[in-house]
A and B are shown apart, each in its own frame.
Chain A
Amino acid sequence: MMLRSPRQLRELGVLGMNERNANFVQRFNERRLYPLVDDKLQTKRLALAAGIAVPELYGVMETPGDTARLAELVANRDEFVIKPAHGSGGDGIMVVSGQSARRRGQYRLMDGSFISEAGIRYHATNIISGRYSLGGHRDQAMIEYCVQPDPVFAEATYRGVPDIRVLVFRGYPAMAMVRLPTRQSHGKANLHQGAIGAGIDLLSGRTVNGVFQNQPTDEHPDTGAPVVDIQVPHWNMLLELAARCYDLTELGYLGVDLVLDRDHGPLILELNARPGLSIQIANRAGLRRRFGLFVEQPDKRPVADRLAYMRAALHDEPSLSPVA
């Protein structure tokens, strides 16, 4: 069957783009709060102030002239990431995975190709000139720690760093998935760039369904490893971190992107005020229905209470996601 009928989707509680925009993004996310998450530097500061771990910031380049300091900023780092502070959808992120041993000034990228220092500086200049920022405004290029992924997803990842997206509605984790880079996504963990997504059962922290290009799948397209039934380590801690981000930002409809670092444990990578809807496909569950569980709950409850309520509510929820 190539299409679902609107009635079917409605019965399954699937959230559509129009409804997301009109009834969730516009209603639960005040516009004045957007800068907190649209500017990744601010998010970092906010998280650090709250004692939440984030990837270490190596430096910020604000003018094309600043890019001259690139070599100095990354002097003794083998690996680092350059990303736009105001980027969206993972665009403009460059992952440098090492310096060439043979030629000075040559860097290796995630996908195995080499780039000169001038090439990286040009990329940073593009970021600064606003090429990847929302609305094309002038931007800053951040250089930060390159996450060393926890080996749990090593089999199910083709280069790059898998990340965990938790959708937090009014402070309650409502749905989660892990995003695994593929050859097609060039090491990036965004579904629309070709990454594979796997839903995570909020109660157990085990992956349930895979989705690749909007199609269900159980295997990683490149490695062939299964993407379902993987236990995510530190699951309860990840949920708590995600839920705490609501208190930091007060954004009612929030996407929290976390990574599991081999050495540093769970880190907050970034926050998103307009998280996408593919998470529903990865979980085969509708967000409307999930949000219905939390929309009537009182605001400003402690994180622990929220998590307890979420667990109780989901425990009672009839299983919608068929596990094969």
Chain B
Amino acid sequence: MFEERSAKVLIIAFLLIAAGGALLTYKVRALGFPLLPDSEAQVWTVEAAVSFEAGPAPIKVRMFIPGLTPGFAILDENFVSRGFGATTRYVAGGREVQWARRRARGPQTLYYRAVVYRDPTLAEDDTTPPFPPSPIFAEPFSTAASIIVEDVGSKSADPASFTQELLQQLNSPGADQNVDLLLGLDPDIVDVARTATTLLAAALIPARLLRGIYLEDQQRYAEVIPWLMVHDGTRWLYFDPDSGQQGLPNDFLVWWNGTESLTTLDGGRDLDVTFSVSSSLMDPVSLAQRRSEARAGPLGQLSLFALPIRTQAVYSVLLLVPLGALLVVILRNLVGVQTFGTFMPVLIALAFRETQLLWGILLFSVLVALGLGLRFYLERLRLLAVPRVGAVLIIVVLLMLAISVLSHRLGLDTGLSVALFPMVILAMTIERMSIVWEERGAEEAIQQGLGSLLVAAVCYAVMDLDTARHLVFVFPESLLIVLAFTLLVGRYTGYRLTELRRFRAFGQRGSQ
């Protein structure tokens, strides 16, 4: 007969948990908000400086910039180029920036700066490329190429082993005439990689030449390193053209692909490009925040970080109140602790955040004890109700002031934080406690007072956890889950923990 309502609550709670959980998961997984408050995220600032001697014709500089970067995502990028117009576009080799200027003289330096961070979710292009067109060689290169392809093919089983075998052959100059013929004189590693892509194309294996840099901290002149990307029919594989090792180092930032050179310059000379890398630590929350702004999803906007800092500070405290409320609900309805005022302990716990627990309990007890004493004296003056509570409130404020001044004199600055106690709540607590004291006796009054303090201490302990603060502030949607649990407790009709003791007389058969 009661199941229908319970079922409804269960469904609502489930929906709330699902919604909150989904939002939370999305923010953790897709937007990269950190679930725990601890770590700091590493970001790298990569700077490419393009310097050249300008003039006399109109100047046009084109440079590849990172587009598709497996393992990394670009947080921010900017182009420092006084007097130049900068436009970016996607091209075959990735992405490029084009700087243009009608007229300029003397040495020019253009900067491209990108801030990147690790993002394991960013993978390579997963479209399967078409079979590459067979390269056209002139003799005698054609014969040499087909001999190598045939030889390597016979010593390998699949595209991966083919690539490794090929790279090994290409990297052992002098061992094979055909290799020497194709590589030419004094080949560098780029030549090796480029030749490898050509030969892979001859074997109908799609391959690309990548260029990138290692992200190592404090590199003034980072070197551009070639890398090889080979498609094995289902996915892209990476190879170090130098060693033949498979894989992409996790600190390798892909800059562009293809055989074209990094920069082209029209209307200038003495082109030079230098890369520098520096790493720094960033608060992962603000990193995630900027990232979600960059992605401009509607959920990225669903965040407290868009609010003014002062409002944020207010909410960082306010958002803890629901947690405290849930704790009060649990302690009252599941445990059965008695308190003065339902949510008074939450407010006291908020004050404890400033005073620290021990001092908080001490100050609270002193204030309530002094207030009660004066309250009992006021009782003898026979005042009307509202003026009496008003008087208690004023006395509470005066006591707070006295404690602050006194503790400051004694050099105990913690006493100053007493000013943060919610004084109206304190006055009401004193009023209520005095009634319970008179009507039910000191024992019950003190018991309820201690109950309130206990609940406040538990609330404080939870609300003071870095993890809890972080969770509710970064993921306010977690409050949906808090709400769900509160609703669930609302349909809990089992016994309270204290009732197991209260009803202990049951079953004591015959014993009196």
Contacts and interface: CB of A to CB of B under 8 A. Distances in A.
Contacts of B496: 16-18
Contacts of B333: 18
B309 interface: no
Interface stretch (A124-132, A173-181, A243-251): A124-132
Interface stretch (A35-43, A52-60, A97-105, A209-217): A209-217
Nearest to B508: A216
A203 interface: no
Contacts of B495: 6, 9-10, 14, 16, 18
- Residue from the set B384, B439, B491, B501 with the largest chain A CB neighbour count within 10 Å: B439
B506 A218 contact: no
A1 B441 CA distance: 28
B382 interface: yes
Contacts of B439: 89-92, 132, 193
A23 B2 contact: yes
Contacts of B494: 6, 16, 18-19
A22 interface: yes
Given A9-B500, A125-B384, A281 B493 contact: no
Contacts of A16: 493-496, 499
Interface string A99-141: 0000000000000000000100010011001111000000000
B502 interface: yes
Contacts of B510: 322, 324
A322 B509 contact: yes
Given A18-B333, A126-B385, A218 B512 contact: yes
A272 interface: no
A214 B386 contact: no
B506 A4 contact: yes
A299 to B, nearest CB: 15
Contacts of B493: 16, 18-19, 22-23
Given A194-B441, A218-B512, A8 B506 contact: yes
B177 interface: no
A111 to B, nearest CB: 13
A164 to B, nearest CB: 20
Interface in B458-512: 490-496, 499-512
Contacts of B409: none
Contacts of B504: 1-4, 214
B435 interface: yes
B62 to A, nearest CB: 73
A244 B418 CA distance: 56
A221 interface: no
Given A18-B492, A218-B512, A4 B507 contact: yes
B512 A216 contact: yes
Nearest to B511: A216
- Residue from the set B440, B490, B501, B510 with the largest chain A CB neighbour count within 10 Å: B440
Given A4-B507, A8-B507, A281-B503, A131 B491 contact: no
Q: How many A residues touch the partner, as a band?
A: 35 or more
A68 B152 CA distance: 116
B382 A122 contact: yes
B32 interface: no
A126 B389 CA distance: 12
Contacts of A284: 505-506
Q: How many B residues touch the partner, as a band?
A: 20 to 34
A324 B506 contact: no
Given A131-B435, A214-B502, A281-B505, A27 B2 contact: yes
A281 B499 CA distance: 11
A157 interface: no
A192 interface: yes
Nearest to A6: B495
Contacts of B503: 4, 9, 14, 280-281
A81 to B, nearest CB: 15
Contact of A2 (B386, B435, B444, B501): B501
Nearest to B499: A16
B212 interface: no
Contacts of B384: 64, 125, 129
B489 to A, nearest CB: 9
A55 to B, nearest CB: 21
- Residue from the set B2, B384, B503 with the largest chain A CB neighbour count within 10 Å: B503
A5 B500 contact: yes
Nearest to A87: B439
B500 A6 contact: yes
A9 B512 contact: no
B158 to A, nearest CB: 64
B336 interface: yes
A132 B491 CA distance: 30
Contacts of A218: 512
Contacts of B490: 22
Interface in B399-442: 435, 439-441
A218 B502 CA distance: 18
A154 interface: no
A215 B504 CA distance: 8
Interface string B12-50: 000000000000000000000000000000000000000
Nearest to B493: A19
A91 B435 CA distance: 9
Contacts of A74: none
A4 B414 CA distance: 44
A222 to B, nearest CB: 16
A248 B176 CA distance: 111
B332 to A, nearest CB: 10
A12 interface: yes
A118 B382 CA distance: 9
Contacts of B507: 1, 4, 8, 12
A217 B503 CA distance: 14
A216 B501 CA distance: 13
A193 B499 contact: no
Contacts of B444: 192
Interface of B: 2, 333, 336, 382, 384-386, 435, 439-441, 444, 490-496, 499-512
12 contacts: A2-B501, A9-B506, A12-B507, A27-B2, A91-B440, A118-B382, A131-B435, A211-B505, A216-B508, A280-B503, A281-B502, A322-B510
Given A18-B495, A281-B505, A284-B505, 4 more contacts: A6-B495, A19-B494, A23-B2, A92-B439
The 3 nearest A-B residue pairs measured at CB = A129-B385, A19-B493, A16-B495
